[in-house]
Amino acid sequence: MTTTLVTGAAGFIGFHTAVRLLNSGHAVIGIDNLTDFYKINLKQDRLEELRTYDRFSFYEATVADAANMNAVFEHHDIQNVIHLAGQAGVRAPPSESHRYVESNLVGFCNVMEASRAHKVAHFVYASSSSVYGMEAIPPFSTDQSVDHPQSLYAATKRANELLAHSYSYNYDLATTGLRFFTVYGPWGRPDMAVYKFTDLIAKGQPITLYGEGKLLRDFTYIDDVVDALVRVLENPPTSGYVGQTTPAKSKVAYRIYNVGNDQPVEVNELVHLIEHALETTAVVRYKPPHPADLHTTHADVKELTDVFDLQPNTNLKDGIAHFVEWYLQYHGRDESN
């Protein structure tokens, strides 16, 4: 039986990934510090679901604490790591900068160093579409340069990719980074557009759209994301790559892939789909674009498709219908959430 560590296990993607692994026979060690970045009730409810599995163990700990991380690795024979813990959000004020450094840089190094010391077979980690930054040309290809981030969050994610390469090079640690594009679905994050808009529209409260709602986003359904995560986890890269070295491919055991839907949609269209699913009309307020926001996110997923024969198969209309169905059931069960 394979034992996999999932950091950020009480988070949105971490929860779904842990469930998929548990259902496929893995033992899962979950770590999460249960921060109040959004309502902790949702994280606790995800954990409640995970604790129904006998092969799930959980540690409430921060990845920024090296001693805690080492203790977890010492106590379990961990074969693989899926590192999803981190401080999210592209619009943080300067006063919050230390949170990104502590979680996304110090924490990342701690998990990677423990993975090296305990010789894990594969270290898979969350990067972000935000890394594409100022000079990216849609559709975003992993062959493009990503050296001009527009937010501190994006800068830390790009730094993670570079740190991973150094570990792959120096220690032959197999690492794969996944650049996620606007993930949504049941049990999602309340700070993200799909959940936030649904919640406000359902309550008859106004929503705010930046850039007149004309920003384009590559909304990616959670099941498609987990499909990619699990397939990638089972196929670690090897050193000795003989093709052309690019920002996403190296001669060492290091790869980066986009995980997106490859079908960008205007945020206005997203709102229309939510309105349709809720059978109600949104009250909309508009603001100028935020300087940390990319105008367009559009994943070129050819590399992921070619290597793993994977393609996203959930269109936005169906995905929103699934999410709204879950939202109504979840909040109908417990309005305090």
3-state SS string over the chain? CCEEEEECCCCHHHHHHHHHHHHCCCEEEEEECCCCCCCHHHHHHHHHHHCCCCCEEEEECCCCCHHHHHHHHHHCCCCEEEECCCCCCCCCCHHHHHHHHHHHHHHHHHHHHHHHHCCCCEEEEEEEHHHHCCCCCCCECCCCCCCCCCCHHHHHHHHHHHHHHHHHHHHCCCEEEEEECCEECCCCCCCCHHHHHHHHHHCCCCEEEEHHHCCEECCEEHHHHHHHHHHHHCCCCCCCCCCCCECCECCCCEEEEEECCCCCEEHHHHHHHHHHHHCCCCCEEEECCCCCCCCECCECCHHHHHHHCCCCCCCHHHHHHHHHHHHHHHHHHCCCC
- pLDDT band at residue 91 using 50, 70 and 90 as cut-offs: low
Parallel, antiparallel or unpaired: strands 183-184 and 27-32: unpaired
Parallel, antiparallel or unpaired: strands 220-221 and 183-184: parallel
Distance between CA 70 and CA 188 in Å, rounded?
30
123: β partners: 81, 175
Dihedral angle computed from the Cα positions of residues 322, 219, 292 and 301, in that order, rounded to the nearest 10 degrees: 150
Q: List, for residues 54-83, the tens digit of each pLDDT value.
A: 999 999 999 999 999 999 999 999 999 999
| Position 335 pLDDT exceeds 80 | no
Exposure letters 73-107 (e unless 16+ CB within 10 A, then b):
beeeebbbbbbbbbbbbbebeeeeeebbeebbbeb
| Position 232 pLDDT exceeds 70 | yes
| Position 327 pLDDT exceeds 50 | yes
> For residue 298, what are its two tokens?
């559009």
| Domains of the chain listed by start with CATH number | 3-333 (3.40.50.720)
Q: Residue 141: count other Cβ atoms within 10 Å of its Cβ.
A: 19
Residue with tokens 């926001």: 293
CA 220 to chain centre: 10
Distance between CA 153 and CA 210 in Å, rounded?
19
Distance between CA 33 and CA 107 in Å, rounded?
12
Residue type, 212: E
Distance between CA 198 and CA 185 in Å, rounded?
12
| Position 309 pLDDT exceeds 80 | yes
For the chain, give the percent of residues with pLDDT over 70: 96
Q: Provide φ and ψ at 105, rounded to 5°.
A: -110, -60
Q: List, for residues 159-218, the tens digit of each pLDDT value.
A: 999 999 999 999 999 999 999 999 999 999 999 999 999 999 999 999 999 999 999 999
Is residue 327 part of the annotated active site? The answer reads no
| Position 294 pLDDT exceeds 80 | no
Q: List, for residues 111-132, the tens digit of each pLDDT value.
A: 999 999 999 999 999 999 999 9
Q: List, for residues 251-262, the tens digit of each pLDDT value.
A: 999 999 999 999
Distance between CA 330 and CA 181 in Å, rounded?
25
- Select which of 153, 184, 195, 254 is catalytic: 153
| Position 241 pLDDT exceeds 90 | no
The confidence score (pLDDT) of residue 38 equals 79
Q: Is 15 exposed, middle or buried (0-12, 13-18, 19+ CB in 10 A)?
A: buried
Average pLDDT over residues 286-299: 84
Q: Residue 111: count other Cβ atoms within 10 Å of its Cβ.
A: 24
